[in-house]
Chain A
Amino acid sequence: MMKYSLYPGCSMEATAQANLKSIIAVAKALDLHLEEIPDWNCCGATVASGVVGDFTQQVMTARNLAIAEAKGLDVVVGCSSCYLSLAVTNKRFKEDEHFKAKANEALAAGGYKYDGSLRVRQFLEVVINDVGFDKIKARVKKPLAGLKVAGYVGCQTVRAIPYEFDDPEYPVQMDKLMEALGATATKFPMKARCCGSSNAIAATEIVIDQAYKIFESASEGGADVIATPCPMCQLNLDAYEQMVNQKYGTNFSLPILFFTQLMAVAFDLPADAQALSYCINSPYQALASYGVAR
């Protein structure tokens, strides 16, 4: 059994509970043990630094790494934005001595210290590199044969640290994962396009216009569903699909799922692990052939 520290992040407790439920269940099915970092705090996403600056935001993020360092396990992150914060901060601790000294001076004010010894990783990358496609294939009980999946990787997953595990321009790893589950990855030129991120509240139009381009591209590729690793991408597409239809006169009805939900379906895990009821645009029809229960 492989052990990891888990950084869930705020969205996993609210808008993206389906992500956390499916991550935990899929990890268990693959014999990966995830231990939540005790008393973790918000990473600040890409928003906090617009108010208090990068340094303060990164120090705040580093409190989580300092707590996790006691166990020495790789830190696994599900959310793309949390991953960006934690991975970039971690990289600076490893590469920039001046930053590390300053950051530790600030951490010391709260009684923490971080040596920079950990690895920060995305759950998607852990599944692909530590488990591997062969073992995943072997675990599949209900192959997703015939399901056409648009693999929407989004922006920060592959560009937080470019070329870390996939091509930042045209990522392919999640497509390969979908094929390992028996599904067909569709042609999807907008797979790494931004969804509009946190503008959903303050400038909704941005999200609607971005989402339109993404739905159009996924539709042209013939997708039945969109799969993503990112809570922000999932929420923006799922919550605003009907507003896209209203604005553009389109008729999109694509369900948007976390890749881990599709893994849970293919692994034939219980309904609670698949967490499909959290989807605003119903995935039940698209997944009917794979025995999903409401």
Chain B
Amino acid sequence: MEQNNKPVKYDLNFAREIYNLENGSYIKQCMQCGMCAISCATREIMDYSPRRLFNLIKLGKKDEVMQANTMWNCTSCCTCKARCPRGVPIIDVMHDLKKYAIQNGYADYPQAAFYKAFWAEVAGRGKVFEGGVTARYYLLRGLDEVKKAMAMKDVGLKMLKHKRMPLFPPKKIKGLGNLKKIIKKAQEIERREAR
């Protein structure tokens, strides 16, 4: 039997970049037990479970990791984080991976557009207006999504009928200027702290 004895290529630069993210170094603590995989509410539709994704990071498989839907399908439900025997804050690592994916141009998943739309609302108003997030989301995603939106019109109409969807946004917070300064400074500090 012929064996594949080709050595595995480790791209340690990618691994190092990920370890340097806010919660990235926790990945080194993963012992591949799979508790996260069996705990995950959306595991069935993930390309890789968190366990496998962490292993791919260790192996430096940048494209596999960044193109995976794993982090985008994570709902931050905290089940894996609460159970991880090594104390890896898995959902927080997933937040880092989402941020890294957006920053590095891997943002094709619809959830990435939703995240950007949500943040634009927060940064522009100090509060989230769900109608605004939805509108921004559809603008980012374009026409294809509008068809999907039509399939959802019954849900929207019912929400309107039961006063669940205000048509006008809340007022901007008074301290919006200060909030923006805080956010800007926090981003500077975070960049400074990342080695």
Interface bits B85-113 vs A (CB < 8 Å: 1, else 0): 00000011011101100100000011101
In the complex, whether B20 has a CB less than 8 A from a CB of chain A is no
In the complex, whether B187 has a CB less than 8 A from a CB of chain A is yes
Among the stretches A26-34, A68-76, A237-245, the one at the interface with B is A237-245
A109 closest partner in B (C-beta) = B185
A49 touches B128 (CB 8 A): no
Residues in A with CB closer than 8 Å to B133 are: 201
In the complex, whether A51 has a CB less than 8 A from a CB of chain B is yes
In the complex, whether B170 has a CB less than 8 A from a CB of chain A is yes
- In the bound complex, how far is the Cα of B103 from the Cα of A52, in angstroms? 10
Residues in B with CB closer than 8 Å to A288 are: none
Residues in A with CB closer than 8 Å to B73 are: 199, 203, 206
Residues in B with CB closer than 8 Å to A63 are: 175, 178-179, 182
In the complex, whether B64 has a CB less than 8 A from a CB of chain A is no
A159 touches B78 (CB 8 A): yes
A242 closest partner in B (C-beta) = B154
B158 touches A239 (CB 8 A): yes
B95 closest partner in A (C-beta) = A49
A155 touches B175 (CB 8 A): no
In the complex, whether B146 has a CB less than 8 A from a CB of chain A is no
Interface bits B25-62 vs A (CB < 8 Å: 1, else 0): 00000000000000001100100000000000000000
B81 touches A159 (CB 8 A): yes
In the complex, whether A278 has a CB less than 8 A from a CB of chain B is yes
Q: Give the Cβ gap from B49 to chain A, nearest Cβ, in Å.
A: 15
In the complex, whether A165 has a CB less than 8 A from a CB of chain B is no
Within 8 A of B (CB), among A3-21: 10-11, 13-15, 17
Among the stretches A99-107, A120-128, A138-146, the one at the interface with B is A99-107
Q: Give the Cβ gap from A109 to chain B, nearest Cβ, in Å.
A: 4
Residues in A with CB closer than 8 Å to B21 are: 53
- In the bound complex, how far is the Cα of B188 from the Cα of A108, in angstroms? 13
A206 touches B78 (CB 8 A): no
Among the stretches A35-43, A129-137, A219-227, A258-266, the one at the interface with B is A35-43
Q: Which residue from A41, A50, A156, A242 sits with its C-beta under 8 Å from B127?
A: A41
Given A52-B119, A53-B22, A102-B189, answer yes or no on A201-B114 (Cβ-Cβ < 8 Å): yes
Q: Give the Cβ gap from B15 to chain A, nearest Cβ, in Å.
A: 19
A39 touches B175 (CB 8 A): yes
- In the bound complex, how far is the Cα of B183 from the Cα of A180, in angstroms? 44
Within 8 A of B (CB), among A55-77: 55-56, 59-60, 63
Residues in A with CB closer than 8 Å to B139 are: none
A15 touches B79 (CB 8 A): no
A106 touches B79 (CB 8 A): no
Given A112-B178, A162-B82, answer yes or no on A42-B75 (Cβ-Cβ < 8 Å): no
Within 8 A of B (CB), among A240-274: 240, 242-243
Interface positions of B (Cβ within 8 A of A): 21-23, 41-42, 45, 71-73, 75-79, 81-82, 91-92, 94-96, 98-99, 102, 109-111, 113-116, 118-119, 121-122, 125-131, 133-134, 137, 148, 152, 154-155, 158-159, 161-166, 170, 173-175, 177-179, 181-187, 189-190, 193
The 10 closest A-B pairs by CB, nearest first: A110-B178, A194-B77, A50-B98, A46-B76, A155-B77, A109-B185, A159-B78, A202-B114, A194-B41, A202-B110
15 further interface pairs, Cβ-Cβ under 8 Å (given A45-B128, A111-B178, A156-B76)? A10-B127, A10-B128, A50-B98, A51-B102, A54-B22, A55-B193, A59-B182, A60-B183, A155-B78, A155-B79, A196-B42, A201-B137, A203-B110, A204-B148, A278-B163
The 20 listed contacts between A and B (C-beta, < 8 Å) are A13-B127, A14-B165, A47-B115, A48-B118, A50-B99, A50-B102, A51-B119, A55-B22, A55-B190, A56-B187, A60-B182, A60-B186, A84-B76, A109-B185, A110-B179, A198-B118, A202-B114, A206-B45, A242-B155, A280-B159
